[in-house]
Chains A and B, each alone.
Chain A
Amino acid sequence: MAAVAEIVCWALGWVLLTSGAAFVLIGGIGVLRMPDLYTRIHAAGLTDSLGPILVLSGLMLQVGNPQELFKLAAILLFMMITGPTATYALANAALMAGIDPVPAESSRPDREQVR
């Protein structure tokens, strides 16, 4: 029974860590390839929320004692609280400094633009 639990933890840990790593990498590529500041903020902000959840959850399955589990949970909690706040602060600062979002070009030019 303990061996089954161990294998399940190991497999789940692999899945979580690799998917977390994939999201982190997607965020990095998105920040480079996106055309506009606000789309880059979007890419970075979203993946900075999901990536750490997956990676830290994967690490939580590898802990040796409860103290490490508590510290990882605390790290995750603080990252979840402060990540979107930083995204807000950055977007707000950019908007106040006068950088305007680039409006999207419609893929169907015959339709009216919804304002």
Chain B
Amino acid sequence: MSEGGTGLGLQAVAARATELLSRDGVVTERARLRTYECDGLAHYRVTPGLVVMPETAEQVAGIVRSCAEHGVPYVARGSGTGLSGGALPHAEGVLIVTSRMRRIREVRADDQRAVVEPGVINLDVTRAATPHGYYYAPDPSSQQICSIGGNLAENSGGAHCLKYGFTTNHVVGAELVTPQGDLVTLGGAAPDAPGYDLLGAVVGSEGTLGIATSATVRLVRLPEEVRTLLVGFGSTDQAGAATSAIIAAGIVPAAIEMMDALAIEAAEEAVHCGYPAGAGAVLVIELDGAAAEVQQEYDEVERLCRDNGAFEQRLATDPVERALIWKGRKSAFAAVGRISPDYIVQDGVIPRTALPEVLAAIDELSGTSGVRVANVFHAGDGNLHPLVLFDETKDGESEAAEKVSGAILDLCIEHGGSITGEHGVGVDKAKYMPRMFGADDLDTMQLVRCAFDPDNLSNPGKVFPTPRLCGEVPGRHKGVHPAQDAGLAEVF
């Protein structure tokens, strides 16, 4: 089916959608459908069969119920900034866009909670909480445009998760539309709801277990003091050693970010952030907390950096300087576009202590393949974002880059790490899942999928390389499923 909306099931869902939603909330014209063909990972493109833009949880539930009734797959999408193709549409399915669900329903400073709809922009939660002395801690680099619904689906991180944790530590409740189209409440304003921690499974499940239509999030007290330090080193080894020394000293900075020479060059060219000239690596270190504590930690960090070869240390003394330091780091991905027409962003994780070894190995990979790699990463928690540079118009470069990129993930797995720290598996890394997990591991995860979505309609084709056939009776497989027979799926 190449034209959207020609399948019978899809037609039925489209008809139901026009009953449920306002007229401009249903998109069927091919040209407009095409504007939703990708998320932040633009080299995967699929034009959705239908796009709907609900405004209420009941509307989402109604659409999903209709999809369930007609066996039509669907994909939820927030702002579409994801970097793993998690919101890649389904050609014969519905794309449910949550951008019209943008209300911040409550900000309750005394309870340290806010209740927000999924389309609310991450930074807007902090903006709403700041007048009360609070903020929302998870801060992905895209926080000015990414949505809470997407953050919840991906379990988004950010520079400050070293100290404050990830989305999963900050979303305490959610209203969820199940793949059957039921609206259920998971968790709430209070911690530790009785029963299984379904919310813990849903956060980070990349939209495969349902669609969140609201989230109750924790608000964190704004710190008394914040110090942001930019430190120049001769090499990534020195910067890595300084990072280890800081952690070993029992200091948990709010963030420790590293960029190598190539990443610095790109950032400098793009945003003129004034990073130290000639540095082989820079660290951006942020300390926050009570003033007396921060002063003491700052003195120690300053000394540890010096001991490990820092040749320049610059302390941001006001918000403008702090913003400039962060600008260099947060714009790094986009900045690489200045020095290379195309690039792949990787998101592997390694134990922090393996940093020197892994960086050396990446260097060697780059050297032998001739593929340039710029390194930007969350040094504090070992989350690497190697940017693998290539030019698609040149023969073989794209394949070479893909190969280097895969080899970097292998390095991460070999060192006991992960193929993704915060971007998610999506469609992009599903093929790497069997390198990290065995068949029994994946099968067990899919038991969860089967409990929530036995018909495999909620964001199918993401996370897992092969769908599991759930069967009527849990745990008992009867006969051969037509998809299995056709070689489209396998039973573990």
| A and B co-occur in one complex | no
A residues with CB within 8 A of B: none
B residues with CB within 8 A of A: none
